[in-house]
Structure 1
């Protein structure tokens, strides 16, 4: 018989002081990951993993979330069984001033905000 979970589920996040510019740029170089970041930025609120409109399978999308999280671009946390996502906008701005907003603005200008 399985034991009931007694502790809250948590997700590990890097300290942005340990994240390199190379890692962030590689994470945001992928159009699907830029799409995820753009959708989060436009939403103005945290989004569940299942609410993203992306042209990939759920398992592939999970990989993209992991890359973004490990690069410090997003923060993930659980609300019940739902995994929520938020951009680490303020932290990214402190570590790499202007980078995230510039990438998202460029993606929008190239028409990536709605589709890949």
Structure 2
């Protein structure tokens, strides 16, 4: 969710909703003139943004990603399959062979 640049998250009381006309950046404590709430400015803004997110997310039937596009969750991921006993070649550990070799067998050059 992205709030509009001008959304007054810092100037709105997270308790009663009253919006202050001005709030200087130097004011680090928000004090509501209506209900008397006293709260750190950033905590107050965070509460307002959380409430906005709940409102925006609850307005549609589908969840949306940060770009506003539909987000569809896959029903199921890959299914793990157990390998049947006896299907692996003896001596193979499932690791990549050393560089220059294609299997666990040594190659000899016939001269």
Normalised TM-score (structure 2): 0.23
Over alpha carbons, which structure has the higher Rg?
A: 2
Q: Which has the higher contact order (CA 8 A, sep 6+)?
A: 1
Normalised TM-score (structure 1): 0.23
Higher strand proportion (structure 1 or 2): 1
Higher helix proportion (structure 1 or 2): 1
